[in-house]
Amino acid sequence: MVWFVVKSLLSGVIVATVSEVARRSPGFGALVASLPLVSILGMMWLWHDTGDPERLAAHAGATFWYVLPSLPMFLVIPLLIRGGLHFWWALAAGCALTVLLYAATTLFASRLGIAL
């Protein structure tokens, strides 16, 4: 339980830091947010918890495939906001698009023999 709390606190500090950096400098905040910190921490936590190289390799490989369908969201949201859509609606639309693209990725990956 203590390890869970440590992981949660450290992960939360990273998210809060990104938010604060972005408030001061949107470009630099975007750079920090684009770093694969969550993925790296996830791999570190997974390795610490399991020590299983095959599980870690599968996790890292699947992460690559799931990053791809999340990228269009970062184009759609600013496009919608600049087009006059309220932030919350733009965010919802971007998230909905991402969910659809995740489903499509999962479907097509399985057809190509890629295990996610």
Q: Domain range spanning residue 61?
A: 53-116
In the block, residue with structure tokens 């339980």: 1
**pTM exceeds cut of 0.85:** no
Distances in whole angstroms, Cα of residue 64 to Cα of each of 12, 28, 44, 99, 114: 23, 23, 16, 16, 11
pLDDT at position 82 over 90:
yes
* CA-based nearest residue to 115, from 37, 42, 69, 57: 57
- Residues 98 and 61: beta-carbon distance below 8 Å: no
Q: Please state the rounded mean pLDDT for residues 87-114.
A: 95
The answer to whether residue 83 sits within a structural domain is yes
The answer to whether residue 102 sits within a structural domain is yes
The answer to whether residue 60 sits within a structural domain is yes
Q: Please state the rounded mean pLDDT for residues 46-73.
A: 94
In the block, residue with structure tokens 């750079």: 31
Cα separation of 71 and 59, whole Å?
19
Q: Please state the rounded mean pLDDT for residues 41-69.
A: 93
pLDDT at position 18 over 90:
no
